[in-house]
Amino acid sequence: MKKLILLGLAAAISISAMGATRKKTASKNKLSAKTLELNLIHINDHHSHLEEEKMDLVLNGKKVTVNVGGMPRMIQRIADLKKSSKNNLVLHAGDALSGTLYYTLFKGKADAALMNVGHFDLFTLGNHEFDDGNTVLKNFLDELKIPVVSANVIPDKGSILEGKWTPYVIKKIDGQDVAIVGLDVVGKTIESSSPGKDIKFHDEVETAKKMVAELQAKGINKIIFLSHAGYEKNLEIAEKVSGIDVIITGDTHYLLGENYKEYGLKPVAEYPKKIMSPAGEPVYVAEAWCYSHMVGNMKVKFDDKGVITELKAEPTIVIGDSSFEVKNDKGEKSELQGKEREDIIKYINSRKDIKFVKEDPTAQKVLARYKAEKNELGKKEIGNITQEIPGGSANRIPNDKNPEGSLATTLVSETVLHMLKNMGTGNVDMVIMNSGGIRISLVPGKISYDDAYTLLPFTSNTIYILKMNGAEIKQVIEDALNFALDGGSSGAFPYGAGIRFEATKAGTLGTRVKKVEVLDAKTNKWVPIDAGKTYTVGTNSYIAAGKDGYATFGKITSTPGREGVNTHLGVETSFINYVKEKKSVGRPESSNVKFKY
């Protein structure tokens, strides 16, 4: 459903933005006549990733699998950092919800319970807080004992969310006023989440200008934005709005810090990114990755005019010290032993950007309670499968024993399309998926949450939306077929919903696809794809990045202005919700693929 983006703020907070271009005004100086040291500790986008997770890192030149993150470990790191300063602000930049079975089962209750013991001073709303509508968000906020800020998300009078957050908070720290303003991402929340019609969204940049002007009028010259508007949008805010000192961002899941390349990771930029405002004063933009893997930290010093003159940055990936797993040439896993293990431990202990961190005992107990319940609820039935639906490695490519191929991949594509058409604006034409992400066949009988996660175990593989023309879509299918058939991976073989094609095994790149049709939403009839028409395509984040041979997807999403939108919604979530809604699910009538093998 379409929702109106309002560019002006409600009258209650509407104020002239004239002062937003003047950073340190006279009215500010009379309030702030001394320096201030402030320890900023922050996370974002933990997305219900409450437990530690396995991750491959290059440590001391060796690829090692270690246990990374988890809320209890992250909470302990926050506590350790707080001991280093008397002036602390602990901030969460949004998207606490949606992403694992913890959210599917508990709808934010487990997240709130852990956040409540996590030392957080403030939380801002992310787009995924609205995934299940106003009621689920209200229930989460009722459980959460942390103040919430969001200046550009305004509930109508009488909304169940009215009064659940404020535009900003002013905290007195060492005798100085420090303002923290909240922002949410507008377009993505409206287009790919489910806020109620009684929630109005306001432009991020215009809201920033108005909030700075209002705070400057109060004589405040230390202003921090806790903004889920995303890295690029917050760089824009920093470049266009004077008066902001620090922007803690979320939404984009960016790893910042060039030194992390040493660990085999791919940071986007330095931590933090320094931008000069229109007034010529520094603004520092920081993000702390995602999924409870990292805690961001900046120790800043303000001069008596409220300008940051010193900054010490120490973001940290938090890991456990109990497991260091390596693979031999045959791919067999084993634990590092002896001197090799000691060398890895010494190496990590010599670093500041990655640390061994114990798990907070209180958070451990909270998580243990929900984990036990999750493990039991995982066996709970979500619906019924009425027919065998082929999937898994044996059915990736259509063959003489199974001419339809991976009907399970088609079914998953249908569940993703169903979700996308029933959230946000719903303007999605088709979904394309690779068969390698669907790991098993479905058999007749009851299906549980655990079964769904066995079918779709790659929880980091999220639903992606991009725009492309018909010619590019045809090329995507050609790319995938070429990789699947010419020695790449059979898991690249494409299936979809809202799209069907005919192709042959014989041929070379660019010659195999013989026919492509799309389902016209108005007539519900199949029509030839229009090479010049722009379509909205759903897929998964893995192949959207060009993996599994999907080169055209990768080329598009790496082109500035055509990056598309990562909803950060798990593919498995669409499947679970679909089965729960339909109660009984059979095999699709067709895989939408005619393949001459």
CB-CB contact of 519 with 529 (8 Å): no
May I ask the CATH architecture of the domain 18-373? 4-Layer Sandwich (3.60)
Distance CA 148, CA 121 (A): 9
Q: What is the pLDDT of residue 330?
A: 86
Q: Is the dihedral of CA 525, 528, 533, 538 positive or negative?
A: positive
**Residue ranges of E strands in 166-307:** 168-173, 176-184, 199-202, 223-228, 246-249, 273-276, 282-286, 294-302
Q: Where are the domains of the chain?
A: 18-373, 381-596
Helices (H), ranges, 462-569: 470-485, 541-544, 551-557
Cα atoms in the Cβ-side hemisphere of radius 13 Å centred on 444: 3
Side-chain-side CA neighbours of residue 439 (13 Å):
11
Distance CA 378, CA 137 (A): 23
Question: For residues 235 and 462, what is the distance between their CA atoms, to the nearest angstrom?
Answer: 25
pLDDT confidence of residue 458 = 87
Tell me which CATH homologous superfamily contains domain 381-596.
5'-Nucleotidase, C-terminal domain (3.90.780.10)
pLDDT digit string (tens) for the chain, length 597 residues: 333 333 333 333 332 333 333 445 433 444 445 899 999 999 999 999 999 999 999 999 999 999 999 999 999 999 999 998 999 999 999 999 998 899 989 999 999 999 999 999 999 999 999 999 999 999 999 999 999 999 999 999 999 999 999 999 999 999 999 999 999 999 989 988 889 999 999 999 999 999 999 999 999 999 999 999 999 999 999 999 999 999 999 999 999 999 999 999 999 999 999 999 999 999 999 999 999 999 999 999 999 999 999 999 999 999 999 999 999 988 899 999 999 999 999 999 999 999 999 999 999 999 999 999 999 999 999 999 999 999 999 899 999 999 999 999 999 999 999 999 988 777 899 999 999 999 999 999 999 999 999 999 888 899 999 999 999 999 999 999 999 999 889 999 999 999 999 999 999 999 999 999 999 989 999 999 999 999 999 999 999 999 999 999 999 999 999 999 999 889 999 999 999 999 999 999 999 999 998
Domains 18-373 and 381-596 share a fold: no
Distances (CA, A) of 286 to 36, 68, 262: 20, 21, 20
Overall size of the chain counted in residues: 597
